[in-house]
Amino acid sequence: MGMTAAVAGASGYAGGELLRLLLNHPEFDIGAITGFTQAGAKLGEVQPHLFPLGDRVLEPTTSGVLGGHDVVFLALPHGQSADIAASLSPDTVVIDCGADHRLTDSAAWAEFYGGEHAGSWAYGLPELVHAGGARQREIVAGARRIAVPGCYPTAVGLSLAPGFAAGLLEPLDVVVVAASGSSGAGKSPKPNLLGSEVMGSMSPYGVGGVHRHTPEMEQCLSLAAAEGVRVSFTPTLAPMARGILATCTARLRPGADPAGVRHAWERAYADEAFVRFLDSGHWPRTADTLGSNTALIQVAIDERIGRVVATGAIDNLTKGTAGGAVQSANLALGLPETLGLPLTGTAP
CATH number at 152-316: 3.30.360.10
Alpha carbon distance 124, 137 (integer Å):
8
Pairing of strands 174-180, 244-251: antiparallel
Alpha carbon distance 66, 7 (integer Å):
8
Write the CA distances from 83 to 8, 101, 174, 320, integer angstroms.
13, 12, 35, 24
What is the pLDDT of the chain when averaged over all its residues? 95
pLDDT for res 190: 80
Give the residue ranges of DSSP H helices in the chain. Answer: 13-22, 43-46, 63-66, 81-86, 106-112, 137-140, 151-165, 195-198, 214-225, 259-269, 323-332
Q: Active site residue: 97, 151, 220, 248, which one? A: 151
Cis, bond preceding 215 (omega within 30 deg of 0): no
Task: Give the model confidence (pLDDT) of 5-34 as tens digits.
Answer: 999 999 999 999 999 999 999 999 999 999
pLDDT for res 108: 96
Give the mean pLDDT of 126-154: 97
Give the mean pLDDT of 70-90: 94
1 band by pLDDT with thresholds 50, 70 and 90: low
Residue 248: active-site member: no
Alpha carbon distance 255, 15 (integer Å):
47
Alpha carbon distance 17, 325 (integer Å):
10
Find, among 151, 124, 12, 150, the residue nearest to 76 by Cα.
Answer: 12
The number of residues in the chain equals 348
36 band by pLDDT with thresholds 50, 70 and 90: confident
Q: What letter represents residue 150's amino acid?
A: G
Burial of 237 (0-12, 13-18, 19+ CB in 10 A): buried
**The pTM is what?**
0.96
pLDDT for res 194: 77
> How do the residues of the chain divide into helix, strand and coil, expressed in percent and rounded to 5?
30, 20, 45
Write the CA distances from 22 to 7, 47, 190, 326, integer angstroms.
10, 14, 29, 8
Alpha carbon distance 6, 225 (integer Å):
36
Task: Give the model confidence (pLDDT) of 111-130 as tens digits.
Answer: 999 989 999 999 999 999 99
Q: What letter represents residue 128's amino acid?
A: L
Torsion angle of C-alpha atoms 106, 108, 110, 111, degrees rounded to 10: 170
pLDDT for res 11: 95
pLDDT of residue 143 exceeding 80, the answer is yes
Least confident of 82-86, 275-279, 326-330: 82-86
Task: Give the model confidence (pLDDT) of 172-220 as tens digits.
Answer: 999 999 999 998 888 877 888 777 788 889 999 999 999 999 999 999 9
Alpha carbon distance 314, 120 (integer Å):
25
Q: What letter represents residue 315's amino acid?
A: D
Domain coordinates of the chain in residue numbers? 3-148+319-332, 152-316
CATH number at 3-148+319-332: 3.40.50.720
